[in-house]
Structure 1
């Protein structure tokens, strides 16, 4: 409110008799200037000079002072948040959501529009891959490539195949793409090795997988993830993510990825060399090398179909490059250090792996909405993550399946970019919404506890509600 000026009041003009002016002047001289000035307290009349009182004259009663007029204090304008009227409260009570947590934020302003347990760190399932990817971009950089090498052994005719953490290295022939498009190929490595040996027969191959430490299996993982084809043992030397079928996303994995890789390499070399496991001699000369796709490509391949092997590869490389170590236990400090670059408080976050498969992981939904704001703004290299997020109604990825955003929820087709998550104890979804009213929202939804597969549809329904409400989304 702007203060309103008081109305002007016309000056009162006082005609002063001549004799009074003369008397006042004489009195002023006689009394050494002891004049007093009087005027109305309201300030509506001019002050008038008045003669000092004559002691012999009758006393003049002193007029009572007029009370000062107090101007009312101006009322300060109250800034209130806009009244939002689009509620999803009913959708949030869907029993299929189990132990429900969620947060929705206006991506441009950072205002929290909807919050249910947004500050509580809980298991995020495969949504954790967003954090792993962000840490990899910070620590490794988008152009980093994992390198597999062959070096000379300590014995004549011996070569050492040294794993550099590239779980995508392929046993398929060059030109024949495995599930990991653009991966390096063993036949290329073998050809380089034979050429470097200059015709010397290769009689033995030592397999060195020491770049990653033991154990190869995180203790909290269920072994069915291996046999059902979702997760390999994590070794620095393996081929095709240790899949039985190198062309399929989901394929049973073996109990010994290193041995599988060694056998495939020996086949490419020819001559039936003996295989053993060990460590390359210090300072051994390099004979051959191939490199993985850059981190930027690996992240997008990991996010689009929620590939666990790639996420674990990235997390372990982050730990190695950070200097914290090369085991599962060294991932948390390395990833948190990498995330520190983004300036978001990581209090409460627990990281047991890179894929989100462990129930021991914990991330607040509110952390994800903040990180996704930066991903939406493509800060630094974070646009790589945006470009890898599955899209509702897209042609590929984990949100293109027929059981996601079907029926009325198809309203959100092309408008939701999000990472899916699923473990036995919960379903999750987090990402970016280009809402129907033109606003952009970031969101994270957790449906945890004793929930079934239909939790996915409940998550889709409330996410579509966010899309429809946009910036008019109410928290009540």
Structure 2
């Protein structure tokens, strides 16, 4: 499932303009990372639903600037900053709030309010997870579910496809039954092999109330996204039912086993490309997909398919591949459900900044396209969640694309928008500990995004 307490249900967007990539620079209190977002060509908000293109004409690795001073800001940016300074003090947001806004042309941080402070980011962790997954595995990667036969047993082998459906298992059963009947067999035992993922199945910092509904114990086999304690045995039982429906008798109960190298392959199913899976994961904030991607990213990088292996690879990808600062960065899972996770808003903004660099468009484009759009049904910023629907923020419908994050005691919103001045901006806002109603906190945070857009002037 998805973000706790409020985000459970499930347009390409490429800001146009000049881009360059900047060198990494330590972030700390009073020292702001200058983030290069040189998107010089204005694009209307219709870009949220239609493609445009980057034109890279700035040098890679150019020296970045510090936070822009007030005298460097134009009238629109100065008004935005003035408004943010006031609106970030909204009582609904509480007193533990951080935020960063990065400019598209000045190569500077326009606004920073405790941006280096590490807070619980909730589902904004998925931005880090998806960045690492797409980088290590590639956007065209597919997950394969297999069926093999040996010693009178059909074994369903999990390949970490969190999008596997009953219809997919029916196709696997059909192929398997054809092979059985060709061999003159009318009965078979069924086993499941989910050995791809070792234990533990639960992450540090997950509350017991989170599973199996909001996130299932992480295993390599699941069908229809079922929220159950043992998704592997559950999938095996569904597979056995499909075999029975196809005319083969299943002997005994479904058991867990490890397939033998001598077993004969009889059927296989491949998932949609990783890019499509990431798109779905971000739109609906699917925790289970995120945790599966974390494990597979670890394997893809030659590390153990554990929470520790996955988070290690995420850190390495962000810091060594992309130069993202990991100061005060601490994660224990891939979904952001862990209440031990901590990420500064400045770091989340850096991750999002990568989406505006054309050299990473092929690899990371699915993240940009998967970010929920304000007011768009089917995503976590849709009207079904009451987002961007009050007097202050509804002006930003269709103009903001951002990742949501919701846990008890933590709400975040990080994304992209085109400002009133026509410049693209990256923003990240996180609050921890507000005692206000979560819906009211989100209204206040949506208002901050609308302020960055400039429609709430």
Which of 300, 306, 321 in structure 2 is aligned with 1:327? 306
Distance 1:337 1:202 in 2: 49
Distance 1:158 1:324 in 2: 31
Q: For 1:115-164, what per-residue CA distance to the aligned partner results, in whole angstroms no more than 9, with x for missing partners?
A: 011122222111111111111110000000111111123x2x21211111
CA distance in 1, matches of 2:403, 2:228: 28
SS at match of 1:264: helix
TM-score when normalising by structure 1 = 0.74
Shift of 1:108: 3.7
Corresponding position of 1:203: 188
How many correspondences in the alignment?
A: 368
Superposition map of 1:228-267 within 5 A: 229-242=213-226, 253-267=227-241
1:222 pairs with 2:207: yes
Q: 1:90 to 1:283 in 2, by over 3 A?
A: same
For 2:415 and 2:316, the matched residues in 1 are separated by 23
Displacement of 1:465: 1.4
User: Once the two structures are superposed, what CA deviation does each residue of 1:211-264 show, in whole Å capped at 9, x if it has no partner?
Assistant: 01112222421232235x32222110111122xxxxxxxxxx222212211110
Q: Deviations over 1:264-305 (max 9, x none)?
A: 000111112332111111343311110111110000000111
Match of 2:324 in 1: 344
Other-structure match for 2:21 = none
Which of residues 449, 452, 457 is equivalent to 1:466? 452
2:346 is the alignment partner of 1:361: no
Deviation string 1:191-227 (CA, Å, 9 cap, x unpaired) is: 1112233232342112111101112222421232235
SS in 2 for 1:241: coil
Take 2:177 and 2:331, find their aligned partners in 1: how far apart are those partners? 43
Structure 1 residues 444-453 or 340-349, which shifts more? Answer: 340-349
Q: Where does residue 156 of structure 2 map in the other structure? A: 161
Aligned to 1:323, the other structure's residue is in SS state coil
Q: Which has the higher contact order (CA 8 A, sep 6+)?
A: 2
Whether 2:75 is the aligned partner of 1:96: answer no
Unaligned runs of 5+ in 1: 1-78, 174-184, 243-252
After the TM superposition, which of the residue ranges 436-445 and 103-112 deviates more from structure 2?
103-112
- 2:14 maps to none
1:399-414 alignment runs, 5 A limit: 399-402=381-384, 403-406=386-389, 407-414=391-398
Q: Note the C-alpha offset of 1:377.
A: 3.3
Gaps of 5+ in 2: 1-69
Residues 1:129 and 2:106 aligned together: no
Q: Deviations over 1:294-333 (max 9, x none)?
A: 1100000001111111111111110111122112122211
Contact persistence 1:303–1:388 (CA under 8 A):
yes
Hey, what's the Cα distance between the residues in 1 that align with 2:336 and 2:358?
A: 24
**1-side partners of 2:265 and 2:105: how far apart?**
51
CA contact (8 A) 2:328 2:344 kept: yes
Give the direction of change, closer, same or farther, for the CA distance of 1:280–1:83 in structure 2 (3 Å limit): same
Residue 193 (structure 1) aligns with: 176
Contact 1:266–1:273, Cα closer than 8 Å, also in 2: no
Q: Which residue of 2 aligns with 1:396?
A: 378
Q: Does 1:285 align with 2:264?
A: yes
CA–CA separation in structure 1 for the residues paired with 2:187 and 2:273: 31
> In the alignment, does 2:64 pair up with 1:81?
no
C-alpha contact 1:372 1:442 (8 A) present in aligned 2? yes
Q: 1:287 & 1:401 partners in 2: Cα distance?
A: 46
d(CA) in 1 for partners of 2:241, 2:222: 15
- What CA distance in whole angstroms lies between the structure 2 residues aligned with 1:125 and 1:138? 22
Moved more, 428-437 or 367-376: 367-376
Counterpart of 2:441 in structure 1 is 455
Give the direction of change, closer, same or farther, for the CA distance of 1:367–1:295 in structure 2 (3 Å limit).
Answer: same
Determine helix, strand or coil for the equivalent of 2:229.
coil
Of the three residues 420, 427, 433, the one matched with 2:417 is 433
Query: Residue 149 of structure 1 corresponds to which residue in structure 2?
Result: 146
Task: State the Cα RMSD in Å.
Answer: 2.0
Tell me the SS of whatever aligns to 1:213: coil
Post-superposition Cα deviations, 1:429-460, rounded to whole Å, max 9, x if no partner, equal 00001112201110000011143312111111
